[in-house]
Amino acid sequence: MFDDANDAPETGWGHVASHDDAPAVIDTLLRLDPATRYTKTELSDEAGVALKSLYLDGTLDHLVEMGFLEKHADEGEEVLFSVDAETAVFEAAVAFDDAIAARLDE
């Protein structure tokens, strides 16, 4: 979405929006067990997003950079991911989710 540094997003929402499938994955992460490690395929299935899409546009690595996911890579093993529930970014996503849910329940 952003081809060079001049086009880089200036806001947090812009960073999320720079990857089309990020909102679906973030929504899924809010409901996953942070103590469990997931493969790319499992995250793809849970989010209802094509694995190829997540892989080609770097969504999962982008979510690691932003603080939604933690990447676990042991040499010679498949890369696994877990919800990085202790970050301010993830906590803000939970608060946002709760606020919207409360608003819709009014």
Asked, for residue 11, whether it belongs to a domain, the answer is: no
**Residues 77-98: b if buried by 16+ CB within 10 A, e if exposed:** eeebbbbbbeeebbeebeeeee
Residue 27 has phi, psi (to 5 degrees) of: -55, -40
* Angle subtended by helix axes 88-105 and 22-29, to nearest 10: 90
List, in sequence order, every residue forming a beta bridge with 70; answer none if it has no partner: 82
Asked, for residue 71, whether it belongs to a domain, the answer is: yes
- Average pLDDT across the chain, whole number: 89
User: What is the tens place of the pLDDT at every residue in 2-60?
Assistant: 444 457 778 888 878 888 899 999 999 999 999 999 999 999 999 999 999 888 889 99
Paired tokens of 67? 């603080």
Q: How many CB atoms lie within 10 A of CB 11?
A: 8
User: Which amino acid appears at position 91 of this protein?
Assistant: E
**pLDDT at position 6, please?**
59
CATH number for 60: 1.10.10.10
Domain tally, the chain: 1
Q: What is the pTM of this model?
A: 0.85
Please give the residue range of the domain that contains residue 59: 20-105
Asked, for residue 2, whether it belongs to a domain, the answer is: no
Residue whose token pair is 């040499």: 75
Alpha-carbon distances, residue 67 vs 10, 87, 93, 101 (angstroms): 17, 6, 11, 23
